[in-house]
Amino acid sequence: MTARRILVTAALPYANGHIHLGHLVEYIQTDIWVRFQKLRGNKCVFVCADDTHGTAIMIRARQEGRSEEAVIADMRDAHVRDFAGFDIAFDNYGSTNSPENRALCHEIWAKIREAGLVKEEAVEQLFDPKEGTFLADRFVRGTCPRCKAENQPGDNCSKCGATYTPAELINPKSTLSGATPEVRSAQHLFIELEKLHSFLAEWTQSGEHLQDEVANYLKGHFLGDTLRNWDVSRPAPYFGFEIPDAPGNYWYVWFDAPIGYIASTHEWCKKHGEQLDDWWKNPDTEVHHFIGKDITYFHTLFWPGMLKTAGFNLPHKVHIHGFLTVGGEKMSKSLGTFVMGSTYLKHLDPAFIRYYYASKLGPRLDDLDLNLDEFIAKVNADLVGKVVNIASRAAKFVAEQTLCESYPSDGGLFEAAAAKADVIADLYERCDYNNAMREIMLLADAANKYVDEKQPWVLRKDPSKAAEVREICSVALNLFRQLALYLSPVLPKLAQQTAELLNVPIQRWDDVRSPLVGTRVSPFKHMLQRVSVEQVQAMTEESKVVDPATAADAPAAPQWNDGPEALAAEPLAAECTIDDFVKVDLRVARILSAEDVLEANKLLKLTLSLGGDSKRQVFAGIKAAYKPEQLVGRLVICVANLKPRQMKFGLSEGMICASGPGGKDVFLLAPDSGAVPGQRVH
């Protein structure tokens, strides 16, 4: 078999945040694949870099009162440190803000220009006059033009789901300065992707480069229609590279970010006397990208389009993975499940999460759930209880001795495990790590069973059986070494410790087929510590970010002393069905005005708004409990489909909901913040 030349990339982490456990799914997945390829004897290079450009970095630098370069330098140091802590071994870790990247952007841009794919168009965008910068949608907030919800993002309403442009927002504000933005027009450069439509349709649908789900997604979402032009420029000020033939304009961060893959490869080539063209312009080289599903279209449409136009290798494969959930939910800062890599490393061994992710990762883009109880159980049971246990229970009987000079008869166990080499290799190759781990654990079970049946600890008491004990341990340690080898892409440290124990390094996949004989066995040292619940809890505790708003309200030690009186005073009504309940249409309403009804003892006259022009007049018996001026503007819950009732003082068109016995003890219901008038209560 000739060695393949393989270039591997993981997505470039953005220089605006630290590495967390979600990021690590990808870097661990990729690192395992790279270590596997290297073990197989392929020439494999793993490059990555920090993604450094864009508005977010520029804003952050301004807020921190320092240069963008200083911001990205610090973050790069932190990223490199975190990756090293998780045993992620890049061959080169670069930066998109590098001279190599700038030169490649120039080269690729020139080719795209040459191909006639660039078009100039005016774009209207909101501009922050105070900061002197154009505003991306997410830097604008205002009132939703449809439902009037306040403080909504610039592109869509989180309350009613309406989509709009930031310019349509009512009362828009810049989140940078608080200033009211103005609409300004600027010339932008676009890449006419549609001109590459037939190429992209063919490339994405060939079945060779993408997972089926991804190909279907692209077909359904993009390729069935005209591809829109891609806006690749941003007017100054912008932190990035200035476009040489369009002064005052900069490449949008997503233009230069993937080019960073090539730039990082170039840095590596310079350090190792290699030619960049061998890696990016030679069809014999396989380029593999590992990314998350959130950035699919950048890597499967724009990027192949750029590469094709500029004459670079197209990706051999884009491997796309899902998101990380913790305990079945999105990572949460308040629950402590948004765990930074550096926090994890303070409490736990990187081997644990590497193995756990491997045991859950498959070739598809399913989301991956980190269940912390399962994490503890799996790591302790599989790694400590099964795998390391084999070495632990065999090594001490032969410590400072040598393994047998010829491999003893073992009932075919070693052969059987060696025969799995191709199956397991294939599973690694296809990124089907969970099935690979399953296969490997079956081998561990067989090895433990062997030791159990042979009972070396019994034979050991009989000095005449010393040779037999040595044979049994030679077998057990060789079976263990096979496991360590199969696991070495996932657990590089274990492979190294195994090499130290048996005094022979683990270097090649095919070593799994030849047993060690005659080599010295070092004294056994623990290879992995068990995980405890306390360690995991300490990690999540440290990750909890307390929301200052809720923290202030939260009682230090809540003492609930709720008595039975309220329920006793008004027993439960007869059971009703959900059908009965939905007959009552409860709505959120805002009190627009409230006035005292002088002639009445208990009534206030309220005008409620259900949003828009929908208003109701309601008489509420709350005069003893609320003053009119306390009520104006607040949200309440009203019965909106109650039959109107003519009262002495006017028509009452509903009720507002309140609890309490009456008189001064009346307590209005109010929705949590975020509710808007007109919403139904379910």
Smaller CB distance to RNA: residue 45 or 394? 394
What DSSP designation does 184 have?
Answer: E
What is the separation of C-alpha 441 from the centre of its chain, rounded to a whole number of angstroms?
28
Separation of alpha carbons 70 and 137, rounded Å? 26
SS3 content of the chain, % helix, strand, coil (to 5): 45, 20, 35
Q: Which stretch binds RNA (CB under 7 A): 387-395, 538-546, 636-644, 667-675?
A: 387-395
Structure tokens at 265: 């490869």
Window of 74-82, 215-223, 649-657, 673-681 that interacts with RNA by CB under 7 A: 215-223
Contact assessment for residue 259 and residue 71, using Cβ atoms and an 8 Å cutoff = no
Using CA atoms, how far residue 45 sits from 203, 289, 299, 475, in Å, is 24, 12, 19, 36
Interface residue with RNA, options 386, 420, 587, 590 (CB under 7 A): 386
Q: Does 500 bind RNA (CB under 7 A)?
A: no
- Site track 517-546 with RNA (rule: CB under 7 A), x = hit: ---------xxxxx----------------
216 vs 630 by CB, closer to RNA: 216
- Using the minimum distance from each CB to RNA, give the nearer residue, 276 or 441: 441
Q: In the bound complex, what is the minimum distance in angstroms from residue 542's beta carbon to RNA? A: 24
14 or 433: whose CB is closer to RNA?
14
Q: Residues 105-124: x/- map of binding to RNA (CB under 7 A)?
A: ------------------x-
Q: How far is the CB of 524 from RNA (least distance, A)?
A: 7
Q: Which of residues 604-663 bind RNA (CB under 7 A)?
A: none
Distance CA 139, CA 169 (A): 13
Q: How far is the CB of 677 from RNA (least distance, A)?
A: 22
Q: Does 328 bind RNA (CB under 7 A)?
A: yes
Selected binder of RNA within 24, 117, 388, 417 (CB under 7 A) = 388
Question: Do 208 and 182 form a contact (C-beta atoms < 8 A)?
Answer: no
Among 151, 177, 371, 496, binds RNA (CB under 7 A): 371
Q: Record the tokens describing residue 490, joined without a space.
A: 């996932």
Task: Tell me which of 4, 5, 16, 42 binds RNA, using CB under 7 A.
Answer: 16
Q: Which stretch binds RNA (CB under 7 A): 101-109, 218-226, 273-281, 600-608?
A: 218-226
What the block records as the tokens of 669 is 């219901």
- Which of these segments, 87-95, 276-284, 323-331, 535-543, binds RNA (CB under 7 A)? 323-331
Q: Is 172 in the site for RNA (CB under 7 A)?
A: no
- Nearest to RNA of 225, 541 (CB atom): 225
Shortest gap between Cβ of 162 and RNA (angstroms)?
A: 12
Among 150, 367, 500, 580, binds RNA (CB under 7 A): 367
User: Which is closer to RNA, CB of 41 or CB of 362?
Assistant: 362
Token pair recorded at residue 460? 């050991």
Q: Cα-flanking dihedrals φ and ψ of residue 426, to 5°? A: -65, -40
Question: Of 3, 110, 170, 377, which one interacts with RNA (CB under 7 A)?
Answer: 377
In contact, 339 and 20? CB cutoff 8 Å? yes
**SS3 (DSSP) at 13:** coil
What would the two tokens of residue 640 be?
Answer: 């909106």
Choices 38-46, 357-365, 420-428, 589-597; region in contact with RNA by CB under 7 A: 357-365
Among 25, 112, 227, 490, binds RNA (CB under 7 A): 227
- Per-residue binding string, RNA, 60-89, x by CB under 7 A, is ------------------------------
| C-beta of residue 312 within 8 angstroms of C-beta of residue 262 | yes
Q: What are phi and psi of 517, to 5 degrees?
A: -135, 145
Closest CA to 310 of 281, 330, 336: 281
Q: Which of 9, 29, 55, 264 binds RNA (CB under 7 A)?
A: 55
Closest distance of CB 167 from RNA, Å: 11
Phi, psi of 184 (to 5 degrees): -130, 150
Q: Is 380 in the site for RNA (CB under 7 A)?
A: yes
Q: Could you tell me the smallest distance in angstroms from the CB atom of residue 556 to RNA?
A: 33
- Residue 158 found at the interface with RNA (CB under 7 A): no
Q: Which two tokens stand for residue 471?
A: 């044979």
Comparing CB distances to RNA, the nearer of 226 and 519 is 226
What does each C-alpha distance from 161 to 152, 340, 609, 610, 615 come to in angstroms? Answer: 10, 31, 21, 18, 23
Of 147, 301, 326, 403, the one binding RNA (CB under 7 A) is: 301
The sheet with strand 368-370 has its strands ordered as 329-330, 324-326, 368-370
Amino acid at 602: K
**Which position among 47, 413, 451, 635 is part of the footprint of RNA (CB under 7 A)?**
451
Under 8 Å between Cβ of 162 and 153 = no
Enclosing H/E stretch for 539:
helix 533-543
Of the candidates 381, 205, 183, the residue with the CA atom closest to the CA atom of residue 300: 205
Say whether residue 418 binds RNA (CB under 7 A).
no
Helices within 350-404 (DSSP H only): 350-360, 372-378, 389-395
Q: State yes or no: residue 381 binds RNA (CB under 7 A).
A: yes
Rule CB under 7 A: choose which of 5, 195, 330, 493 binds RNA. 330
Report angle CA 274, 278, 282 to the nearest 5 degrees: 175
Nearer to RNA, 295 or 642 (CB): 295
The nearer residue to RNA, 295 or 675, going by C-beta atoms, is 295
Residues 270-299 that bind RNA (CB under 7 A): 293-295, 297
Residue of 128, 339, 335, 301 whose CA lies nearest to 222: 301
**E-state strands within 38-79:** 43-50
Non-local (6+) Cβ contacts of 567 within 8 A are none
Task: For the chain, report the end-to-end CA distance as a whole number of angstroms.
Answer: 65
The whole-angstrom separation of Cα 666 and Cα 657 is 10
Among 87, 155, 168, 542, binds RNA (CB under 7 A): 155
The binding site for RNA (CB under 7 A) comprises: 14, 16, 51, 54-56, 123, 136-138, 155, 193, 212-213, 216-217, 220-222, 225-228, 230-231, 252-254, 293-295, 297, 301, 323, 328, 330, 360, 362, 364, 366-367, 369, 371, 374, 377, 380-381, 384-386, 388-389, 392-393, 396-397, 438, 445, 448-449, 451-452, 456-458, 526-530
